[in-house]
């Protein structure tokens, strides 16, 4: 018995893929992913129409999706993040049905509770054996954690593993096991290794970014959460890493040992754990080569599924035990609602990912962002898209000052007492507008191009089309 089939086409045929079905993909291959395009090209060649694509994230490399939408091969898209290229087409109204945006935790949760059904999951696997045991840790296209793919494998009616690194049975260090896999296909390449990871992620040198990071680190310090057992999540961007650097310095100075760091993991967080600042790393996705090497070699570095990371359908998730998270924003409004789905002109170029999951779960959610970007103020009366509800956001840190959510009175007092530049969010808005002027309000069209579901599956917001002239 073997589950090996000769080609992607044969796998598609064997699964019984039909018009109208929902197929799923994970995004650990990031902007180097070949698998989504490969499967859709084959489905298109087979004349299959009306597919819904549920991908944990859609990157610019998935631009061929646009053609598949035009040809009605794809008529539905569900994802947690969408890069600017496909996002622009969606914002211009190319897809009849609205895109369904979820969060990383919500996507897994909706599969668990049955509200998001997957007919066929296609898993890009950097290594696999002929029975479907697979892992992201080994092989020429190694991506490290396969965190987001677990729910797909576990809940899809059929699961196809696509690998460029077939190894003898049984794979030694299995992430997703054969019990969930129907077919295995070997292909020449599942991705472009150069684009799977960013290679190295570097701390910003931009003085504005460093100023913001330094202030954010001060907020962490004076919040009272920076103590023995501290847990922390930050992103891969230069400013987020700078926060980590400043936090590390404070931990070192005060002899603090943290419990865990989490999230998309970078080499920077690996180094912090290696130096003993964190007991363990919970990794749902690797952002760079160092993280991939670490998850392969380092027993302190654990792969976690999206369920364990952030699912609201789980009895608890790691985000529920998170102390502090550092998050970005394209817009924040005076009610602390955050937009990470669209740019200031309303074009889709992002998504929640784990943004609202970690904001909801953590004890302290800090938004870091420059007060003005591309001559537009960060803070607005109302965000163009509510990605993360204001009630889960605690602090907004800009280079010109810090705004604390009025719900966090005690925290505000602590930060004021520490001498940090605490302002009302309206004041920050005013400062920005004094510099860049009050921006013209963006007028969106009438067509709903995307629905943003909160992590519990309820409708949080709708995104309208951008009026093109």
3-state helix vs strand vs coil in the chain, percent to 5: 35, 25, 40
Q: How many CA atoms lie within 13 A of 151 on its CB side?
A: 35
How many whole angstroms separate alpha carbon 36 and alpha carbon 68? Answer: 12
Position 67 contacts a second copy (CB under 8 A): no
Residue 113 in contact with a second copy, rule: CB under 8 A: no
**Of 173, 206, 249, 391, which one interacts with a second copy (CB under 8 A)?**
173
Distance, in Å, from the CA atom of 295 to the CA atom of 25, rounded to the nearest integer, reads 22
Running DSSP on this structure, what letter comes out for residue 424?
-
159 counts as binding a second copy under rule CB under 8 A: yes
> Could you tell me the smallest distance in angstroms from the CB atom of residue 180 to a second copy?
6
Helix (H), strand (E) at residue 380: strand 379-380
> Which of 308/341 has CB closer to a second copy?
308
Q: CA 294 to CA 303: how far, in whole Å?
A: 11
**Cβ of residue 16: shortest distance to a second copy, in angstroms?**
15
Contact 389, 356 (CB under 8 A): yes
Q: Cα-flanking dihedrals φ and ψ of residue 290, to 5°?
A: -65, -40
280 vs 408, beta carbon nearer a second copy: 280
> In the window 1-60, what residues touch a second copy (CB under 8 A)?
1, 3
Closest CB to a second copy among 197 and 307? 307
Distances (CA, A) of 124 to 36, 86, 136: 9, 21, 9
Segment 252-291, which members bind a second copy (CB under 8 A)?
A: 259-260, 279-280, 282
| Site for a second copy, residues 196 to 215, rule: CB under 8 A | none
CA 292/CA 192 separation, integer angstroms: 15
Q: How far is the CB of 267 from a second copy (least distance, A)?
A: 20
Residue of 229, 276, 406, 437 interacting with a second copy (CB under 8 A): 229
Work out whether 354 is an interface residue with a second copy (CB under 8 A).
no
Interface with a second copy, residue 92, by CB under 8 A: no
DSSP-derived letter for residue 33 is B
The rounded distance, in Å, linking the Cα atoms of 37 and 189 is 12
The single residue among 75, 113, 302, 408 that binds a second copy, judged by CB under 8 A, is 302
Whole-number Å distance between alpha carbons of 295 and 185: 25
Sequential DSSP letters for 132-147:
--EESSSSTT--S--T
Q: Which of 10, 13, 67, 177 binds a second copy (CB under 8 A)?
A: 177
Nearer to a second copy, 75 or 280 (CB): 280
Quick one: which of 308, 386, 429, 455 contacts a second copy (CB under 8 A)?
A: 308
| Least distance from a second copy to the Cβ atom of residue 181, Å | 6
DSSP states of 277-295 as a string? SEEEEEEEEE-SHHHHHHH
Largest CA distance in the chain: 71
| Least Å from the CB of residue 158 to a second copy | 9
Nearest approach, Cβ of residue 182 and a second copy (Å)? 6
Site for a second copy in 312-331 (CB under 8 A): 314-318, 320-321
Q: How far is the CB of 162 from a second copy (least distance, A)?
A: 16
Q: Does 311 bind a second copy (CB under 8 A)?
A: yes
State the burial class of residue 177 (Cβ atoms within 10 Å of its Cβ: 0-12, 13-18, 19+).
Answer: middle
Of 192 and 279, the one with the shorter C-beta distance to a second copy is 279
Element (H, E) at 401: strand 401-404
CB-nearer residue toward a second copy: 290 or 308: 308
For residue 455, give the 3-state DSSP assignment.
coil
Min dist CB 353 to a second copy, Å, is: 19
- Distance CA(171)–CA(135), nearest Å, equals 8
Stretch that binds a second copy, among 6-14, 210-218, 300-308, 337-345 (CB under 8 A): 300-308
For residue 199, give the DSSP letter.
S
Q: Which of 148, 147, 129, 150 is nearest to 139 (CA)?
A: 129
Nearest approach in angstroms of CB 315 to a second copy is 6
The residues in 129-148 that bind a second copy, with binding defined as CB under 8 A, are 131-132
Q: Which two tokens stand for residue 434?
A: 């004094």
Sites of contact with a second copy (CB under 8 A): 1, 3, 131-132, 159, 168-170, 172-174, 177-182, 229, 259-260, 279-280, 282, 299-300, 302, 304, 307-308, 311, 314-318, 320-321
């Amino acid at each position: 018995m073997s589950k090996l089939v000769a080609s992607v086409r044969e796998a598609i045929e064997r699964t019984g893929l039909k018009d109208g079905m929902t197929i799923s993909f994970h995004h650990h291959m990031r902007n180097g992913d070949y698998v989504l395009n490969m499967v859709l090209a084959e489905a298109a060649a087979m004349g299959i129409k009306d597919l819904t694509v549920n991908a944990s994230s859609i990157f610019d490399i998935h631009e061929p999706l646009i053609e598949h939408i035009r040809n009605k091969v794809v008529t539905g898209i569900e994802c947690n993040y969408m890069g600017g290229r496909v996002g622009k087409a969606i914002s211009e109204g190319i897809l009849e049905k609205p895109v369904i945006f979820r969060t990383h935790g919500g996507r897994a949760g909706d599969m668990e509770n049955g509200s998001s059904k997957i007919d066929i999951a296609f898993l890009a696997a950097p290594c696999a054996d002929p029975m479907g045991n697979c892992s992201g840790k080994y092989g020429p296209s190694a991506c490290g954690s396969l965190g987001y793919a677990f729910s797909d494998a576990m809940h899809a009616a059929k699961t196809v593993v696509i690998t460029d690194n077939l190894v003898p049975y049984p794979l030694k260090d299995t992430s997703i096991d054969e019990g969930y896999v129907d077919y295995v296909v070997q292909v020449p390449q599942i991705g472009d290794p150069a684009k799977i990871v960013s290679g190295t992620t570097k701390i910003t040198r931009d003085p504005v970014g460093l100023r913001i990071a330094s202030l954010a680190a001060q907020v962490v310090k004076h919040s009272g959460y920076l103590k023995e057992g501290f847990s922390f999540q930050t992103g891969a961007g230069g400013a987020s890493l700078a926060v980590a650097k400043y936090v590390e310095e404070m931990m070192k100075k005060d002899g603090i040992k943290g419990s865990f760091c989490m999230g998309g993991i970078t080499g920077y967080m690996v180094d912090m754990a290696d130096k003993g600042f964190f007991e363990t790393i919970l990794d749902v996705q690797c952002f760079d080569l160092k993280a991939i090497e670490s998850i392969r070699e380092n027993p302190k570095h654990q792969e976690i599924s999206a369920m364990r990371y952030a699912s609201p359908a789980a009895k608890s998730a790691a985000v529920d035990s998170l102390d502090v998270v550092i998050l970005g924003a394209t817009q924040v409004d005076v009610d602390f609602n955050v937009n990470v789905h669209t740019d200031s002109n309303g074009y889709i170029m992002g998504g929640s990912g784990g943004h609202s999951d970690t904001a909801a779960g953590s004890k302290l959610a800090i938004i870091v962002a420059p007060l003005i970007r591309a001559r537009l103020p960060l803070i607005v009366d109302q965000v163009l898209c509510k990605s993360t509800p204001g009630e889960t956001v605690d602090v907004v840190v800009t280079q010109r000052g810090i705004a604390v959510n009025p719900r966090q009175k005690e925290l505000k007092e602590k930060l004021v007492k520490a001498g940090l530049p605490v302002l009302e969010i309206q004041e920050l808005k005013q400062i920005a507008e004094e510099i860049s002027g009050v921006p013209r309000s963006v007028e969106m069209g009438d067509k709903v191009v995307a629905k943003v579901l909160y992590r519990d599956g309820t409708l949080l917001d709708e995104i309208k089309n951008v009026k093109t002239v």
